[in-house]
Amino acid sequence: MTEKSTILKENPSKTWSGRFNEPVAELVKKYTASVSFDQRLAEFDIQGSLAHARMLGAQGIISHEDVARIEQGLADILQEIRDGQFEWLLDLEDVHLNIEKRLTDKIGDAGKRLHTGRSRNDQVATDIRLWLRATTDEIITLLRKLQLSIVDLAEEHVDTVMPGFTHLQVAQPVTFGHHLLAYFEMLQRDAERFADARKRINRLPLGAAALAGTSYPIDRERVARELGFEALCENSLDAVSDRDFAIEFTAAAALVMTHLSRFSEELILWSSPRFGFIDIADRFCTGSSIMPQKKNPDVPELVRGKTGRVNGHLVALLTLMKSQPLAYNKDNQEDKEPLFDTADTILVTLEIYADMLRGIRVNKPAMRLAAAEGFATATDLADYLVKKGTPFRDAHEVVALAVRHAVEKGCDLSDLPLAELQTFSPLIAEDVYGVLTLEGSLASRNHRGGTAPAQVSQAIARARQRLA
Ligand code: ARG
């Protein structure tokens, strides 16, 4: 210890360690440094260092005076960082060494004692977990807000008729409210996934030191309590090398983006003049520089596009881990940029999406017309015949013939006179028109999870309760 300080005194400008005979090449410095991106972990790094220092003090590993100096020094550094006054140096490689060096410049030997019983390996794992926990909480909050704006829009459209599609062909009528609530469910599972991933994020690596633990009489439980971790990483080798919590987080994010990408695809289709179902507020669209008539749905298109980027980050992280031997390897430094970009992308997407939904105008007549034109109630006619005793497969065939007839005549099933309908089955009577209407079809799907307006209203009430 004394020996090393002496060396540093003899050559104060020398930033490489006594172990090396020559400085690291400039290009290698740039290649290996992470400070340009990991400085965003600074607040969490300081939080972790404070908890570590207090534990060292409580355990008698360093003095209480040193703890007090460290606390004051880190508080000052935090302020410098917040004020944009902190000078980040590439020579000091990463966020951890930058802060530690600044601390030592400020408070001397006490600063040098902070790293006792710790390594950057358990330090960085702790920082990422703290950052990811906070980010996860932000995401869950924004997911809730987006779900709320879905429910609000659905409530306005409890009985707005639209065609439901399979294979992008008109299938059966649904209400727009019901359709929207499908996305509520997806996002509900997404929020559950993040809440579940949070449990595994929220474990303390500190104490693992470089890989094998430390010979100092540390108190890991105390550090965990102070940092709000609900458990300890139980194995030191695993603690410094595990990043599966980050992969889980990214997988959950990729699913959110995938859900929003599907939603976006629908918004894009529906806002195309070919569908004309909705209008997206101008503030979310742009015009074309050459075609004056255009209003392009840029935001949903970008959500769809950015989904590719988050999915890419998931694959990047999986690939990053797949061949790493225990324990820490520098490879792990590559976890940060994909993680940061995943978080930034999903956070802004969630925020913008909730606002975009509030700006959607629905063209009810266009939705209704599309459902009316697409033989959307053909299944209802088949069900009608089944209820009168026809086996379902036979009923299916009868209706297929009736649809073909209507196609040839260029009209809907409900436009066919009773006498004509009866040529397909003598069981058809006047009451058939009740089921051939869109409203009749909707109202008949009257069970939990069905599209009947009465059910959609109840689903909305339950959704609000789930958000509460
Ligand atoms: N910047 C490093 C990272 O992000 C910190 C840990 C470095 N540890 C080491 N032994 N070089 O992973």
What are the boundaries of each domain within the chain?
23-116, 121-159+167-368, 372-467
Q: Which two tokens stand for residue 435?
A: 């089921």
The pocket around ligand 1, CB under 6 angstroms, is made up of 34, 38, 94, 120-121, 124, 328, 330, 332-333
**Crossing angle, helix 42-58 and helix 120-156, to 10 degrees?**
130
Q: Indicate the top mutation candidate among 88, 95, 120 to test ligand 1's pocket, ranked by most ligand atoms within 8 A of CB.
A: 120
Structural tokens at position 326: 């225990």
Say how many Å lie between the CA of residue 246 and the centre of ligand 1: 16
Q: How far is the CA of 221 from the centre of ligand 1 (A)?
A: 24
How many Å lie between the centroid of ligand 1 and the Cα of residue 455? 55
**Class (C level, CATH) for 121-159+167-368:** mainly alpha
Rounded to the nearest 5°, which phi and psi values hold at 163?
A: -75, 135
Partners of 169 in the beta sheet?
Answer: 166
Closest CA to 360 of 263, 431, 274, 450: 263
Strands (E), 2-115: none
- Give the DSSP per-residue string, 392-460: HHHHHHHHHHHHHHHHHHTS-GGGS-HHHHHTT-TT--TTHHHHHSHHHHHHH--STTS--HHHHHHHH
pLDDT at 294: 79
The pair of three-digit structure tokens given for residue 162, joined into one six-digit string: 């639209």
Q: Which residues contact 215 (CB under 8 A, 6 or more apart)?
A: none
- What does the DSSP 8-state code read for residue 12? T
State the CATH architecture for 372-467: Orthogonal Bundle (1.10)
Which atom, in ligand 1's list, is nearest to the CA of 34?
A: 1
Residue nearest to atom 3 of ligand 1 (CA): 333
CA of 129 to the centre of ligand 1 (A): 15
Name 409's Cβ contacts closer than 8 Å, sequence gap at least 6: 415, 416
Are 28 and 88 a contacting pair, CB within 8 Å? no
List C-alpha distances in Å: 411 to 32, 94, 152, 404.
70, 71, 36, 10
The confidence score (pLDDT) of residue 4 equals 41
Atom 11 of ligand 1, residue of closest alpha carbon: 330
Which residue's alpha carbon is at the smallest distance from atom 12 of ligand 1? 333
CA of 345 to the centre of ligand 1 (A): 25
Selecting from 3.40.50.300, 1.10.275.10, 1.10.238.10, 3.40.50.1820, what CATH number does the domain 23-116 have?
1.10.275.10
To the query of whether residue 115 is one of the catalytic residues in this protein, the response is no
Task: State in Å: Cα 9 to ligand 1 middle.
Answer: 26
Is residue 167 part of the annotated active site? The answer reads yes
* Residue tagged 């490489």 (tokens): 16
Cis peptide before 327 (omega within 30 of 0): yes
pLDDT tens-place values along the chain, 468 residues long: 333 433 344 444 555 678 899 988 999 999 999 999 999 999 999 999 999 999 999 999 999 999 999 999 999 999 999 999 999 999 999 999 999 999 999 999 999 999 999 999 999 999 999 999 999 999 999 999 999 999 999 999 999 999 999 999 999 999 999 999 999 999 999 999 999 999 999 999 999 999 999 999 999 999 999 999 999 999 999 999 999 999 999 999 999 999 999 999 999 999 999 999 999 998 888 887 878 787 899 999 999 999 999 999 999 999 999 999 999 999 999 999 999 999 999 999 999 999 999 999 999 999 999 998 889 999 999 999 999 999 999 999 999 999 999 999 999 899 999 999 999 999 999 999 989 999 999 999 999 999 999 999 999 999 999 999
| b/e map 166-179, b = 16+ CB within 10 Å | eeeebbbbbbbbbb
Residue tagged active-site, from 13, 17, 167, 447: 167
Sign of CA dihedral 170, 174, 175, 180: negative
Catalytic residue among 5, 36, 63, 288: 288
d(CA 400, CA 394): 10
The number of the ligand 1 atom at minimal distance from the alpha carbon of 328 is: 10
Residue located via tokens 């001397």: 108
Confirm if 26 and 32 have CB atoms less than 8 A apart.
no
